[in-house]
Structure 1
């Protein structure tokens, strides 16, 4: 047949081979289920930093030198804690906690070990046991703010976790999840109940919430989405088709990632939801276009009529679907320019996901749309006539008042830019959890009773193996520790506790002619003190610091920066020794969001360039490519600017919103311009073509955004605050993209008359 286009042949081929395609797709889904279910979440907070990041390098070096500082605090009310019976109870509970899997029992700290240390039998032990009661005030002062409160009403056990190993399971025996579950069970069963906190457990709870809520609430979202689709399309078949397309695309994507050796991260944990957006938006265009073509055929229920409508639907939409998915994929693949491995992996995952949506749409939809011959055509939604009237009126009204609309757009752009400049970064990791969550209640208790729950350090150059510690060096350490205790930021002390090796040497009456003699004595009843603070082989010493987790981002950064500056002034380093450096999980969590945001600036630029190139390639028009950019980018600016003006800080859930939104707002853009060009080829004027595109594609875009926004409302049920933000902001970005496509595209394209 002459005069048939490639799109016509694609439509014919999909209609003719719909059953084999459906069977092949079903078989591939069945084969992909097992590897898809094996895909795991990477739970390392360090993975959210670039490999060469200096803060990550300092943290890894400290772990090598001092064995890692992943501590868990277990605190409870204990009146009169120095009484013998209290010390017995503390020791018994500390022993129980130390037996939890994944805990290093030799490093457990508790008040009984301070006041009743284990000593080797002998004369020295007898003497020391007699001396310790005389030293009790000094020993309690050392322990204050760590394992006993200033009012002597609260005590804590500090548990040091064993270092994680490569291949350590995420769940089950030998996992951190098992460690924390055991500790929390013991704490809950203690009388009175104890509170459990610490950076490692915060990180664990964050990943648990991301994984559990992301999985469970995704299915809740699908249920809500299905209900809204049923209301809008009034066809059970056309509710099941987009859900089938989405689930198939997700299974294929997850299986591909697992077989490629990739893992999900906190950044990419919302993969399912994002693939859902791309899939539902794509199938909605197919559903409404199929319905329109069926109505043109007289609404007959004959098989020929449905096949013809299906064939023509894909003849018209195959190219826009391809370019929409390809442009989405390129938008996400631009994240490969990022420095952070999880961000690059996320871009690759979503690129694969967009491709999987394209394949699942073309392979599943034709067969599922015609199987059985009943309920094959979507019906009209209540009030759809009113929506159609508004959409048909839209382009004319927009172009009639084009100057006011253009000025309003310019003002919104200025508003967005000003709001973006007001953005603040959330560094209080506890703000990622709801106020009534277990971890926040524990942090509140510990920070109110004991002081800061945030543990970190500043490590310093120190004498090496052949250079014994001398008083002049210890004097410098002593002076720095005193300056840190006196350091104030914002009129308040920077630290709730400063622990240096000199504190013990100065407080406990040790006898010896040299520093080494006194350290050897110290090792007899406190063997953990020296190796936890001094590593002569690597020529480093550290001062351990405690700060409040729950403080403003500006103050937390100021404390870290001023501490490091002060330490480097006192210990600047030499040609053979690195200068002083502040590090720890507290520091990594503080700068985590900034690490993500730095990556987004470059990635967002590449995404915008990639989208422009794809739109130019799709429509072979530089002007249309330029016209498509503002509707895609303005909604993102409005979302970020709105955050800034509302005073809402950027957290893990919002740091990636720009890159995510770039990939999600492009779908309607492609379909709108394709429909406009199709009408222009049929001889319609510019404004008439815009009116028709507005009434057809605009309807599908509105339905898709309405359904998806309702579905994403399920994320507001999450216990993890960033997921709530993510759901709300993605919904806002989609609504903004819809407004941009329905207002700015006709404004830009129709500015000049034919």
Structure 2
């Protein structure tokens, strides 16, 4: 019945794919990019709620820092540039050294003292650089790319370009991340992935038409996935940039297994090889897709929004990959019915390998146990880290500007301290003195480069009379000295601290020190550093939570599908050990886990179980036919070892192409996925057969055979297996 359908409609189905290809390609390219740093930080934590509260109270302050060499920074040119920037639609205010000095001097601060106060913010201590700080409006924050482009145009107009000028700030970094995270920027490594996969498909099929067509329907599935994502309002980011590669390897893995079954059926002389191949491929492919879905959906436990979004998007891609691999791929066998598979592995003798594993099973399992214990120590040392600067490629001009500004002018990282006087009836002057005391304590930390508050605009010696103090306050309010620094009827005061990166003190460590130092004071901390600290905790917890959830749900599927508790547990062991080894190795090397690496454990587990299902299908068939456990392992390896190794090789090489990404986290994601998938070969071809070979004899145990309708044969003789496919040289 199914063969008749494809014989009659296979070419029509392929024509429909070809006709809709341009439409889905066009729709897929309408997805917008969003790499806003805040989206990569936890959503529901108290730290995030405090940050949102700070933005409501003081306003979201996003700044663009322009650093100019003193040799080209003529005062008139600086003021002219500041005026031009101030007239841009997305800029609400501009600070220059002269403007801030004048504002402090108008309130009685001596000019030399005012110049000292702006060092580390608008002037370099060495005097080589001066800074212009542009504060973005709310409208500007909604169009960061447009505002940054406009600022760059103004710099070009004033003929201020590298190396005489540097541009940075959160809007500049986010704009660059959006550019790097767009589909256009990810096309380079995706094209390389396609070339690698096309070459492997040709070697595997020995037929260019079949190879090109398989790649074509794979691309169609990718664009369908991205189209649905666009229709659902999804956004691209540096993690979503790997979605195309993920869907590609999902589809090609299923396609390779299907064509392997089809070739075996033809060589066995089956009357209807297409129907037989679909029947044999459906259960393991469907079950492996379910486990992949569970591994991906388990990412939803993360409180980092793009991680959860990637889990759902990749899960959608896995479903579409199953539909393409088992729904459209059979149509290609109608077009090229004589196309068969051939070996990628130069006629590797899986029978001899199975005999070797069976003979040395105890030594193999003992060695695996030792490695698990050793890498378990590494897992205990595993740490997490997140730094938006790490998202930028090493050769990026934005990174070079950031490092120069950080080194010679002012800190890029900041901590915001909010002093809350509550219902206190302290007068303004007393509150300001309290804020000044706290500001000095914060500024004394070696990791703090510069501090600024409303108190910074007032002289050290304040008027004694209440009338003079009130007049000074009135003058400060008139020229906006307290704007954005004091709110809620003088209840809340803000202290902004710029941090050092060069002193080896991370923002999180500085934050921890300040929290301890100012414990008991009416001050709370917020800003990017506390959010980064929260994100590091979330990454670490999210890794274990998502991996545990994936293990439990996938184990349940294995137990139900194998109809045995013990069989399901045994089948999970060789899939967990490779991931354990890779992450344990990271712990030993002292390599921290970032956002992209955190996701790989659950995803790799869901994918690697694919091969386990294919292996166990052949193993149970042979075992039920009367084979001993070592004999059943031998026949299962002969039948499924080749497609398992081939699909793993294709998937791993596809993931390695992500290492060419200019995004460091994306490159690490690809490297980690490739490492875990290659390590899964150790689990599937070594540890799993070794475990099954130590299985008690049939009269002692019947696990892996708990089928209500399949009795264990009384005779111990191994039934004749299906013919094994011969591979072309």
Shorter-chain TM-score above 0.5: yes
Residue 676 (1) aligns with residue 619 (2): yes
Which runs of 5 or more residues in structure 1 are unaligned?
Answer: 1-8, 119-127, 169-174, 298-304, 488-492, 572-579
- Native 8 Å contact 1:597 1:656 kept in 2: no
Judge which range, 419-428 or 398-407, deviates more: 419-428
Q: Of 588, 592, 605, which residue of structure 2 is paired with 1:662?
A: 605
1: CA distance, partners of 2:627 / 2:490: 78
Residue 292 (1) aligns with residue 264 (2): yes
Deviations 1:37-67 (A, max 9, x none): 3333443333334432111111111111111
| Aligned match of 2:191 | 219
1: CA distance, partners of 2:594 / 2:171: 18
2: CA distance, partners of 1:215 / 1:518: 60
2: CA distance, partners of 1:117 / 1:209: 40
Q: Of 642, 652, 655, which residue of structure 2 is paired with 1:709?
A: 652
| Aligned match of 1:417 | 376
- Native 8 Å contact 1:427 1:589 kept in 2: yes
- Secondary structure in structure 1 of the residue aligned to 2:259: helix
2: CA distance, partners of 1:15 / 1:405: 48
Superposition pairs of residues 371-410 of structure 1, within 5 angstroms: 371=335, 376-381=339-344, 384-385=346-347, 387=348, 389=349, 391-410=350-369
Deviations 1:566-624 (A, max 9, x none): 344221xxxxxxxx221123432454343233223222211111101111222223232
Superposition pairs of residues 296-311 of structure 1, within 5 angstroms: 296-297=268-269, 308-311=272-275
2: CA distance, partners of 1:275 / 1:186: 43
- Native 8 Å contact 1:142 1:504 kept in 2: no
Judge which range, 471-480 or 732-741, deviates more: 471-480
| Aligned match of 1:558 | 509
Residue 177 (1) aligns with residue 145 (2): yes
Deviations 1:417-448 (A, max 9, x none): 21122223334432333333212211221122
Residue 366 (1) aligns with residue 317 (2): no
- Secondary structure in structure 1 of the residue aligned to 2:566: helix
Q: Of 532, 555, 578, which residue of structure 1 is paired with 2:484?
A: 532
2: CA distance, partners of 1:745 / 1:17: 41
| Aligned match of 2:524 | 581
| Aligned match of 1:323 | 287
2: CA distance, partners of 1:645 / 1:281: 32
Residue 546 (1) aligns with residue 508 (2): no
Superposition pairs of residues 118-129 of structure 1, within 5 angstroms: none
- Native 8 Å contact 2:68 2:166 kept in 1: yes
Which runs of 5 or more residues in structure 2 are unaligned?
Answer: 699-729
Q: Of 195, 200, 204, which residue of structure 1 is paired with 2:166?
A: 195
Superposition pairs of residues 477-488 of structure 1, within 5 angstroms: 477-487=435-445
Superposition pairs of residues 8-407 of structure 1, within 5 angstroms: 18-19=10-11, 21-22=13-14, 32-79=24-71, 86-104=74-92, 107-115=93-101, 135-163=110-138, 168=142, 175-187=143-155, 189-190=159-160, 193-212=164-183, 213-297=185-269, 308-371=272-335, 376-381=339-344, 384-385=346-347, 387=348, 389=349, 391-407=350-366
TM-score, normalised on structure 1? 0.85
Judge which range, 510-519 or 35-44, deviates more: 510-519
Deviations 1:7-43 (A, max 9, x none): xx76776666544554565566566445433333443
- Native 8 Å contact 1:11 1:315 kept in 2: no
- Native 8 Å contact 1:75 1:194 kept in 2: yes
1:187 shift after superposition: 4.3
- Native 8 Å contact 1:73 1:159 kept in 2: yes
| Aligned match of 2:458 | 505
2: CA distance, partners of 1:469 / 1:531: 19
1:479 shift after superposition: 1.4
1: CA distance, partners of 2:628 / 2:3: 27
1:497 shift after superposition: 0.3
1:655 shift after superposition: 2.2
Deviations 1:285-328 (A, max 9, x none): 1223323333344xxxxxxx8x8332222121111111111221
| Aligned match of 1:447 | 406
1:523 shift after superposition: 4.1
1:73 shift after superposition: 1.1
Deviations 1:208-255 (A, max 9, x none): 323344344223211222123323432223423442343233223223
2: CA distance, partners of 1:292 / 1:699: 12
- Native 8 Å contact 1:46 1:56 kept in 2: no
User: How many residue pairs are counted as aligned between the two chains?
Assistant: 692
1: CA distance, partners of 2:335 / 2:207: 14
1: CA distance, partners of 2:170 / 2:533: 11
- Native 8 Å contact 1:519 1:530 kept in 2: no
2: CA distance, partners of 1:444 / 1:179: 22
| Aligned match of 2:432 | 474
Residue 438 (1) aligns with residue 397 (2): yes
TM-score, normalised on structure 2? 0.87
2: CA distance, partners of 1:524 / 1:332: 56
2: CA distance, partners of 1:111 / 1:602: 50
Deviations 1:387-437 (A, max 9, x none): 2x1x22222211211221111111121222211222233344323333332
2: CA distance, partners of 1:16 / 1:749: 44
1: CA distance, partners of 2:258 / 2:89: 54
Judge which range, 681-690 or 604-613, deviates more: 681-690
| Aligned match of 1:576 | none
**Residues 654 and 355 (structure 1 numbering): CA distance in 2 closer, same or farther, change over 3 Å?**
same
1:109 shift after superposition: 0.9
- Secondary structure in structure 2 of the residue aligned to 1:496: strand
**Residues 36 and 693 (structure 1 numbering): CA distance in 2 closer, same or farther, change over 3 Å?**
same
**Residues 431 and 522 (structure 1 numbering): CA distance in 2 closer, same or farther, change over 3 Å?**
same
| Aligned match of 1:5 | none
1: CA distance, partners of 2:5 / 2:248: 26
**Residues 99 and 733 (structure 1 numbering): CA distance in 2 closer, same or farther, change over 3 Å?**
farther
Judge which range, 418-427 or 494-503, deviates more: 418-427
- Secondary structure in structure 2 of the residue aligned to 1:581: strand
2: CA distance, partners of 1:551 / 1:357: 49
- Secondary structure in structure 2 of the residue aligned to 1:582: strand
Judge which range, 622-631 or 258-267, deviates more: 258-267
1: CA distance, partners of 2:635 / 2:503: 55
- Native 8 Å contact 1:420 1:644 kept in 2: yes
**Residues 681 and 39 (structure 1 numbering): CA distance in 2 closer, same or farther, change over 3 Å?**
farther
Q: CA RMSD, aligned part only?
A: 3.0
